[in-house]
Amino acid sequence: MRVGLSATVLDQAYNNGRPDGMSVCTRQLLGGLGRLGHSVEQYSFTGEANGAANWQRFPHSFGAMAGMGMATGGFSRFKPPVDIFHVTDYRAVPMACPVVTTLYDAIPMVFPEMANPRFRRFKNFVLRRVAGFADHIIAISHYSVGELVEHFQVPESRISVVYCGVDSVWLTPLPEEDWRATLARRGLRPGYYLFVGILQPRKNLERVLLAHDVLPAELRKERPLVVVGKAGWRYEDFLRKLMDKVALGEAHWFNDVHGLSELRHFYAGAGAFVFPSLYEGFGLPVLEAFASGLPVVTSTTTSLPEVSGGVGFEVDPGSVEQISHAMQQALREDERVWRIPAGRQRAAEMTWDACVEKTVAVYRQVLEESNA
């Protein structure tokens, strides 16, 4: 099968070099489709996509191509030499081949207060166009399906759910001497509470700080909160509070963790993972923590219960008391003895290989329907 794949998010300049869910998903699809023997053509609106030899630039800017498509009622169409085109980054344009697009969430429409106001209006516009240009839509959770139907008026028959996953490398145990060396270099002792992700309001980190403050003083010192991620928007007040805890020796912040290897070392050295997010289209860090052998504190909201599957401590993300209680429960041996192996099993069932195979099944379904 000849597959066209949007690769703008693989540009090194994308998102200031910070990987996000779209770039991770795109990179995994690129590698997985190749391993299954499919021919993949990468198209980008910006610079070279990952330095790939089969990279091509779209003939015009996204604005020009999408605008011309809308102005002509879809008559103006791009004609890539592929059987099907998969848009993984919202930038869909009319094409002379079947188009599948992945929509990750509807945050700007459902929770506008959680979206960057600089990009909210533009993103809403783009999301609606994607729904209109696509022949079929992939949602990354069942929770997201309802949002797509409600906010984009997409018939449920045009939506398939394909979960994200973890790379099989996450399921391979790390040499203890390697991750201990990284912790020593970073000034950490094993057993800390860990959060991983871009610092932004929907991640609910302010309540995580408060929940950690509720813990007994001795426990706070013994098990500080380690935050791994770059600062996003509207987080100046949180950073001040975080740095106050850092000064007390009760927290650490690392915004310079580069590469999968070092990130895995941070997971390996943790005692528990804390991710009670207010909103997630999927919640990939939960799977990464499961694969790393960690008990997980997460939310009862949005897609997170689908990922957790009852294995994590699922709490009301608005309750500091529940978050703090779950953080203490995650240290109990009678909880860890079943949650840790169950989490590993959960991660083993939700891999990127499974994601790619299910995505190819969607391609085949769409091609069959287009040729009927």
- What CATH class does 168-349 carry? alpha beta
**Among the listed residues 330, 324, 334, 285, the one whose alpha carbon sits nearest the alpha carbon of residue 308:** 285
What pLDDT, on the 0 to 100 scale, is given for residue 109? 56
What pLDDT, on the 0 to 100 scale, is given for residue 114? 54
Q: Tokens in use for 177?
A: 């001497």
What pLDDT, on the 0 to 100 scale, is given for residue 7? 85
CATH superfamily of the 2-165+352-371 domain? Glycogen Phosphorylase B; (3.40.50.2000)
3-state secondary structure labels for all residues of 156-168: HHHEEECCCCECH
Distance CA 251, CA 245 (A): 5
Ranges of H-type helices in the chain: 21-35, 62-71, 107-110, 117-133, 142-152, 176-186, 205-214, 217-222, 236-248, 260-268, 284-291, 304-308, 320-329, 333-349, 352-371
Q: Tokens in use for 255?
A: 């915004």
- Helix (H) or strand (E) segment spanning residue 270: strand 270-275
Q: Are strands 251-254 and 55-57 parallel, antiparallel or unpaired?
A: unpaired
**Among the listed residues 19, 89, 123, 104, the one whose alpha carbon sits nearest the alpha carbon of residue 282:** 104
Q: Tokens in use for 257?
A: 């963790």
What pLDDT, on the 0 to 100 scale, is given for residue 51? 52
Residue that has been written with the tokens 């770059």 in this structure: 230
Distance CA 257, CA 179 (A): 13
Per-residue pLDDT reduced to its tens digit, 154-195: 889 999 999 999 988 999 989 999 999 999 999 999 999 999
Phi, psi of 196 (to 5 degrees): -130, 130
Domain boundaries, the chain: 2-165+352-371, 168-349
CB 310 within 8 A of CB 293: no
CA atoms within 13 A on the CB side of 359: 33
Q: How far apart are the first and last CA of the chain?
A: 18
Dihedral of alpha carbons 27, 262, 11, 281, sign = positive
Per-residue pLDDT reduced to its tens digit, 302-313: 999 999 999 999
Render each residue's pLDDT in the chain as its tens digit; 372 residues.
999 998 888 876 665 555 677 888 898 999 999 999 999 999 988 765 455 556 788 888 887 887 887 777 767 788 999 999 999 988 888 899 999 999 887 665 565 555 555 555 666 666 666 677 889 999 999 998 988 888 777 889 999 999 999 988 999 989 999 999 999 999 999 999 999 998 988 899 999 999 999 999 999 999 999 999 988 777 788 899 999 999 999 999 999 987 889 999 999 999 999 999 999 989 999 999 999 999 999 999 999 999 999 999 999 999 999 999 999 999 999 999 999 999 999 999 999 999 999 999 999 999 999 887
Domains 2-165+352-371 and 168-349 belong to one CATH topology: yes
What pLDDT, on the 0 to 100 scale, is given for residue 372? 76
